[in-house]
Structure formats: structure tokens, C-alpha cells
Amino acid sequence: IPAPKAIYTAAEVTINAGLRRAFEEEGLDHEHIKTLLKEAGETGIFFDADTLEYAFRKSIERMAERLTNDPSDLSLMEQIEAALELIGSLPFQANLWKTQNIFHEMLQGVYSEFREKAERGDKKALEWLKHFRRIGDKLYVRVE
């Protein structure tokens, strides 16, 4: 028996609002987001794709901008990498051109500094390069 329209509508509003809030949080709670997406998929909830895409995109952009202020922040790089891993499970396409541009600027700027440190055996720089390349792959930006 299908759920009454009022219950479906309430669930739709609740899940969309929950996803929007989850995307707007400082650190994305991936498990909570995946749970909401699964719940929505199981119940056939309609997504407010424009609002959700905007919230997700802005979250990624904020993280990328923070990274430009402190490029050596490995935990922030891990957060960005993890957030980008969500893209395949999202019910919308995220427009990440601004994040791609920020990343490309870092590639033209600080990347060579970290690469030189890594070549001298700096373990933190090696780790940085690993994350930077993974982020580049997820953003479809060629690193080398």
C-alpha cells in the first residue's frame, strides 16, 4: 500500500532539508548523507536537485578555498577527497568548475614546491602529492 500523500510530502521535505543541512556542515558526514540518499531511494523521494547541488558545490568550494590558505593541511585534503567520492552516489550532477579552477591554480603554484620536497624524501610531501593526485582525478584535472 503506498504511503499517503501527506506522509510522502513530509518525508520529501525532511530528507531534502536533511541533505541540504548535511552538505552545509563544516565537515561532511558521509555516513549520514549515504543513509539519507538510501532512504530517499527506497521511498522514491523527489530530490530538490538545484538546492542540493548548490549546497554541495558551495561546501566543496569552501573547503578548496580554505586549502589555498593552508595548502599543507592534509586533513582538509582528506575531507575534500572524501567529499568528492560522494559524487557518484548523488542524485544530481555537481558543477565543480570553480573547485577545478582553484585546484588548477594550486597545480600551477604550490604543487611544484611539494613535489620538490617529496623528491628530497619528505614523507609529508609524499602524502600530500598522493592526496593531490587523487583529488585531481576526481575533479578530472590532469596533474602530470
| Count of CB atoms situated within 10 Å of the CB of 22 | 22
Report the predicted TM-score, pTM, of the whole model to 2 decimal places.
0.88
At 75-127, the pLDDT tens digits run 999 999 999 999 988 989 999 999 999 999 999 999 999 999 999 999 999 99
**CA dihedral over 73, 74, 79, 83, signed as positive or negative:** positive
**9 has a pLDDT exceeding 80:** yes
User: Which one of 3-7, 25-29, 84-88 scores highest in mean pLDDT?
Assistant: 84-88
**105-140 as b/e: b if 16+ CB within 10 A:** ebbeebbeebbebbeeeeeebeebbebbebbbebbe
Give the Å distances, CA to CA, from 136 to 38, 132, 144.
27, 6, 10
* pLDDT value for 1: 63
Write down the number of H helices and E strands in the chain. 7, 0
At residue 144 the predicted structure's pLDDT band, cuts being 50, 70 and 90, is confident
Q: What are 70's three cell numbers?
A: 593552508
**Which among 43, 4, 35 is positioned nearest to 18, based on CA atoms?**
35
Beta carbons of 39 and 14 less than 8 angstroms apart? no
For residues 80 and 138, give the distance between their C-alpha atoms in angstroms, rounded to a whole number: 10
Nearest to 23, CA basis, from 11, 10, 37: 37
